Structure 1
């Protein structure tokens, strides 16, 4: 029997995979940089502490995330204990009042400080601590200068968080800061603990548990080698069997769909630019989408997520669209690209965003084309730019809750887990009807499975704690995230706020403590008329109780999405 060329290539691919199981490389080439521990390519997250993406991209600079779902900095230069980075949207953070995102993460096994000129500020919500707020042009006035005005008890308070702000020159006076002094390019000094270095040299990995303590996950080198060799051999045999079965199937059915793992390939349809369709949706030429966004003009940017930037565009036929431009075209991005297409092409629901088409997988860049939803996100209307202009009324918030629950219940009935339910992913049209968006993290859920094992993904503040600890996602993970959304709807508070007390930074914890002691007046947004309107008081209290059930730590204690929807409809009626 003569094996076809693609089968031989797949077997070679399996050999490459098995050969990489034994240990992490000592270094990675990354453009003009060389990555060594504690840095690692994002495709090998287990080999370091700081992930770098875009090493193989042909445009832009490599980007580094200092923590999961954190800011993505352009990586300019690396030395033994320093890295030079750039965050071009630095002034925008302060204008929007989201400067706390600049706060450097704290690890039990490494430290990060700004080595270039900077100023230390405290973000405090309680001015009674004393001190004078910084005289900051266009900057919110709950910032205190550490070295001049803030007393020691303020600096030690758990209700304040330290923020290091890079500036152009050393300040003469801490109390005077202006936006044009902020420096988007700065140097970070990093130090990794001796324990973590030793753990890495022994072939282990540095981890932090749920209480942020360091531990080293390792085994004897001999055992690791034995496991790697045996595991590699089994994987090779499995690849051989799968490849042979695919070859037989292709021989029997000719062209058609071949599905493997989470990626599908349609061999009967073209997916090159100018082809008719891919997964049953139209393929747009890259040049048309480039023209639709005016060459991806920054002024047309609608949002910036973990996987890509979304731009407003207008097609040749006059349709207004939202075009998601994935960051880099590597294997991981291609998988997310195809995953989102595969899921959305099989769904039709009035409360789910509609996918109009995409570029080819062989295109210059990976682009997804969605319907344009004009009225922003729920987050914008609750605690963003649109909140002050026209706060959402309670009937609209209730409808948002019901329509979002309807969309999620439909997904779960279709054996799909969203995995990133949050108010930033709930879009509103001009009539305030819901369109749930962003399926890059979603997963098809086998009907006979109790869970899916996967590396935790999602957004801080919304992630199911059990999922984060056990790496097992179920439909109840979406229920937990939706519980956070419910609390946002009744409180108008963000899911994460570092200005709250340390154990209540996550809105879920804040809500649970208030609901448990019946302090609903501390949770519900006063503008809704709580304790002034009997009907609003009763309904918001009932919704808070549903949120309480959704936020239970054990997934078995949470209701299903269908049950949550039924409860909300009963309350509404």
Structure 2
């Protein structure tokens, strides 16, 4: 029994040893080779690999209705011969990734005797027709070559039309110029893409009879052929004296061409050629069609199911260097330093001892972090101080400009249920963003009070932002209150004040944007030959007068503009007038006190009484409006500094002409042609009253607006336009006058100059 037990133990030990030796071998088993052809099909013909979609025999190739993927292998030859089924063209190689195939083609040859007579050559088996196969001649890899001289070589398509060609000539050897196939003895030319037919031709250039220099200036034979560019290397000693036949390699581009490009192929999933899960589609660069490639990190045949397999990068260290622990992953790999080391494992000697490296890294990191934190804290403190300084400065300006009072007014106005009328207090940053930091290309205009910019708010609202130049300290105390009252103005002919910015030294105002510029530019900068109808001028005057009358009579408290002029009257896209720019405006007092202030305004429009008393009244705006009315009628500027002294002022020119009884000469020619005489006298009468030296003799803005509106209705009345008789027109004018609170006297004498009177007969 003991012997048997001993025997069994020995057998067990032997079996264990055998299994231990077999285990490593089984662990090192390699996966089966990557599939090239379909299962059960030949993948080689001689030394040429035949990958699917190509195949030898039935069922072994891709069948898409086009000949070309089916190949024939003739094993009876040595070496075996691989040809394209149906074409009998021999292939010398097939490349799956590059999408190329190589074949051989005979060169066309024509030979001549010493006198230039044709003695024979080879023109058969020198053309190739690829039809509707997957193949096309590669324009990138092939060149058309013509050898011999003189020789004009070319080839044509199936219809006989020229495709490509070149000409070579000869030079005596003593004048030979070095160079490879550049036109002397040999020439070459590129071919276009999409070519599937090649038929070469040569054109003989006859030589003179008995040419004694034949042997040096011409060759016996001339050749034309299509050839792989990298294969062909020209040498005059090799090719110029050839008289035999030879074949040259030609590169063909192949692709799946039955459905078009990738996008069309992917829609037809049943016929889609890229069958492997880890594959992609690439459009053909030569003609219609597509090819398939394995995704990055995979290799194999993308035309077969599961044909693309993961690359084990760890087994290809030449391509994927790793000097540490390499771990393969699907489509990629990782490379890490061995335990106890750290660094870059993809470079040689990149992994270092972890303890030393960590210590050095900690020291460097500690110092760097310390320096960085110190700099960061200092920088943060500096920014904090600057930010606090900026906030204090903004708050100072905000309080100085009456911002606290304005906020209280807005809150009390809202609590009363009236709302704030859309008025908003903007921050400086909002307006900077709206104007792209007040860029020069956003400037709409420049004036005495400041610069106006075009701005676009965050809600895409287009606005006009006025950035004032300076402001008196006394003005800032009442600024916020006045701005809030101005914001409550809601009149179609007054530019709406949308808000303001008070956190800057000089407050900025935000107005609605009016698109068509100023009345000044409309009547003065416009082509002087361009028509501006009298009705348009009268309508603009009426709308401007109504806006000023509204501010004088309907606003609470009343508002005096203080700088009425054509540059402060804007026009929208329909030429509707909108009065703007309240830079010199004031609120009328609620008690009996007069307004005494520094004189502001624009020369040529200033009320003479205001200049003498420094007291701004509603009649000061009436005087300035009279000048605007004169500009509309005459289309002349209020002040001409370059002209003669007596003609520099439009008002003085008008008064002088009125005194001489020829004021009509000042009027614009179109006004004289369109305005009736009775309307002219009425308007002239109104202008004279507005320009009176005494404010008490001037009409109110409401009177002026009503008078102009009456004249506009009268001018537009059908009786007047039809040229009715004078009695009818007088009755109509009288009817219109009855609607006014003031009726002009028929004999109204105005004291315009001391000792002079002027009478209007109506």
TM-score by length of structure 2 reads 0.37
The structure, 1 or 2, with the larger RCO (C-alpha pairs under 8 Å, 6+ apart) is 1
Greater Rg, structure 1 or structure 2? 2
TM-score by length of structure 1 reads 0.49
